[in-house]
Structure 1
Amino acid sequence: MRLSLGENNNIQELRNFAEWLLKIGDGLAGDAIDGESIVHIPSDILIKKSETALDDLIDFVYPDILSNLSIENYFKDRVILAPTLDCVTDVNNKMTAGLLGQERVYLSSDSVCAEEGNMEFELDAFSPEILNGINCSGLPPHKLVLKVDAPVMLLQNIDQTNGLCNGTRCKLEEWKIM
């Protein structure tokens, strides 16, 4: 992550903020109680809980998003960090819904190849509802909604020699039938 000076910042404020962020990331900020920490966030950077809090955050980080989709570094220079994967899903869904154009929905596989031994147990333990509800790092969601101009990030190495590696950010340019 890169921090840059805003209009009203000074270099010492930026250094203090960067050190505070690093302490949070290293687990050194806050009071540790039973393996958990309580971190006090300054009120001037806290987004208050409201009906429009997520919209306000997206508008702040990605101002005038529809007009800036064609700018090459627009998404590269911005990011929303989220504490849980459920929050990431909410942000992604909200941002995708705000993009113009037709969406395409891709669903994951939701069945298990059961072995002969404990087939009934496996079918009960891995029902489609359970498989569709899995939300963990490194896996796309069960329902992936995409639109043209949407930014996407690769989760696996597809073709390293051509730069299609885990973490590569791309933008969907157009739908092509393969």
Structure 2
Amino acid sequence: MRVDEDGLMYSRFLIDVGEDKLQKNNNGEIELPKDMVLPFRRIEDSLDFIYPSFENSAELFSKNCVLVPVNESVRNIISICIRRFLGNMEENCSFNSVCDGTNATHFPIEFLDSLEMSGLPPHKLELKKGSPIMMMRNLDPPRLCNGTRLITEELHKNLLVGKIITSAFKDEIVLIPRVKFILSENDGIPLQRMQFPVQSCFAMTIKHKGKQWTMF
């Protein structure tokens, strides 16, 4: 369903879903109102409707967003969209290690590379020139904050050049370096990951809401 910034009822519905306030059937499912359901059964067909073309990507991705309930769905949609996007794929792999070197033998690098956790950028960040990204950390407030959306302009080994497409700093060109993400033992694994603090944002989980977007 498409909504604009005045779609208060739809925004309320999204909040209720996120806070688990809506009635469910015996299978634990929420029945959606018919006017919120797209007439497609395949995710590829839905994406064709939502993103009919990736031309003028800055305008498209500053106003449109696919919201899904879980990170697995986000990764699936990103994988489909980034391969449809024109241009050469750049794979930016992170550098992973454990915080305490004495435990390094307990956590092989292959295992650390495989970790996908909320709030942590992926080990293999696949991007193309012109593809949309979103900040995952406050890097230079108020210009670059968690949630700021950008378009990828240039990709280098340790530097990403992006153009802001939202907020008062729209159209500004910014430089984004790799930064260190640290998980403590309280998170289960004492991981250190050096990666760009961004993620592709063809889709995002439902907790990321924005009144300025057209949401699906």
**TM-score, normalization: structure 1?**
0.71
Higher helix share: 1
Deviations 1:73-95 (A, max 9, x none): 31121111122212111111211
CA–CA distance in structure 1, aligned partners of residues 99 and 14 of structure 2 = 45
Alignment partner, residue 22 of structure 2 = 29
Q: Percent identity?
A: 30
CA–CA distance in structure 1, aligned partners of residues 22 and 99 of structure 2 = 46
Amino acid at match of 2:120: L
Which of 103, 127, 131 is residue 108 of structure 2 equivalent to? 127
C-alpha distance 154-46 of structure 1, shift in aligned 2 (>3 A): same
Which of 118, 126, 138 is residue 145 of structure 1 equivalent to? 126
Higher strand share: 2
Deviations 1:114-140 (A, max 9, x none): 444xx4xx522x222321222122111
- Aligned residue-pair number: 156
Amino acid at match of 2:152: L
Alignment partner, residue 168 of structure 2 = none
In 1, are the aligned partners of 2:40 and 2:46 still within 8 Å (CA)?
no
Kindly indicate whether structure 1 or structure 2 has the higher relative contact order, using CA contacts under 8 Å at least 6 residues apart: 2
In 2, are the aligned partners of 1:85 and 1:135 still within 8 Å (CA)?
no
Which of 6, 30, 33 is residue 39 of structure 1 equivalent to? 30
Runs of 4+ in 1 over 6 A off after TM superposition: none
CA–CA distance in structure 1, aligned partners of residues 59 and 113 of structure 2 = 34
Give the Å deviation of 1:48: 5.5
Query: Cα RMSD between the aligned structures?
Result: 3.1
Give the Å deviation of 1:15: 6.5
CA–CA distance in structure 2, aligned partners of residues 4 and 104 of structure 1 = 34
Three-state SS of the structure 2 residue aligned to 1:173 is strand
Q: Compare CA radii of gyration and give the structure with the larger one.
A: 1
C-alpha distance 108-175 of structure 1, shift in aligned 2 (>3 A): closer
Structure 1 stretch displaced more, 143-152 or 127-136: 127-136
